[in-house]
Amino acid sequence: MLRSTTAVFSDAQLIAAPTKAKFIDTNNSGAVVTYFYWFVAVTAAGDSTVSDAVSISLLPA
């Protein structure tokens, strides 16, 4: 799973390894933050193509 604060895939950073079954995101910024997420399936046959972006706005913790 990759995440960015922009809708540009090349800005995204890896935030969860392929072996993780779940990821819980948090927002400690004090303001609403919108993140964009992309997913890549990883199997013995290789990586899938990158998914379309999914955007989520997180309320401050």
3-state secondary structure of 60: coil
Total domains in the fold of the chain: 1
pLDDT of residue 61: 81
**Selection from 40, 52, 49 nearest residue 14 by Cα:** 40
Range of the structural domain that residue 9 is part of: 2-18+26-58
Rounded distance, CA 58 to CA 61, Å? 9
| Predicted TM-score of the model (pTM) | 0.81
| pLDDT tens, position by position, 6-51 | 999 999 999 887 776 778 888 999 999 999 999 998 888 999 999 9
